[in-house]
Amino acid sequence: MATSREVELLLGSKTIAVVGLSKDPSKESFSVSQYLKEQGYKIIPVNPTASEILGERAYPSLLEIPAEDAKRIEVVDIFRPSEQVPPIVEQAIQLRKADGANPKMIWMQLGIENPAAAEAARRAGIAVVQNLCVRTEHRRVAHAQRRA
């Protein structure tokens, strides 16, 4: 379970870059991103083999997203194997250095963990969630808020 601060960061965000977003509707990255889009988030797909996913222009890497869009990225949601996380986090850190504020969070999806990359992100002032599904956490908190 994510901490309340981490979930507040997610809920307060508007733009999420999804690294590893698949074009295949049967893939978890697609359905989770579709859910986030339905909840009102702006999704920026990052996939080197796609030009568009879910009606949004896709980019080969975080660093190839135009600066105007990149500075709006508050959350980087990662759907890549754990061993591929370090260069993605390094790109997120470069974006933060360029912007000074964003991204605020790295979210590694269920089954994805990389302690060294997480520590590097934290040192750069970026919050980190590992091994949790953003959709599950969003639903959990949204459900709790409706009941309150």
CA neighbor of 106 nearest in space, from 26, 116, 48: 116
Tokens found for residue 138: 């969003």
Long-range CB contact pairs, 127-131, < 8 A, 24+: 127/5, 127/6, 127/9, 129/2, 129/6, 129/105
What's the CATH class of domain 4-147?
alpha beta
- Average pLDDT over the chain reads 93
The reported pLDDT for the residue numbered 5 is 74
Which has the higher per-residue pLDDT, 93 or 143?
93
- Domain definitions of the chain by residue range: 4-147
Query: Does the predicted TM-score (pTM) go above 0.85?
Result: yes
- pLDDT mean over 3-12: 75
pLDDT at position 148 over 60: no
For 40-82, what is each residue's pLDDT tens digit? 999 999 999 999 999 999 999 999 999 999 999 999 999 999 9
| Separation CA 147–CA 130 (nearest Å) | 27
Tracing tokens 């959350």 back to the chain, one arrives at 75
In the chain, the percentage of residues whose pLDDT exceeds 70 is: 93
Q: Beta strand 75-78 with 127-129: parallel, antiparallel or unpaired?
A: unpaired
The reported pLDDT for the residue numbered 105 is 96
The reported pLDDT for the residue numbered 104 is 95
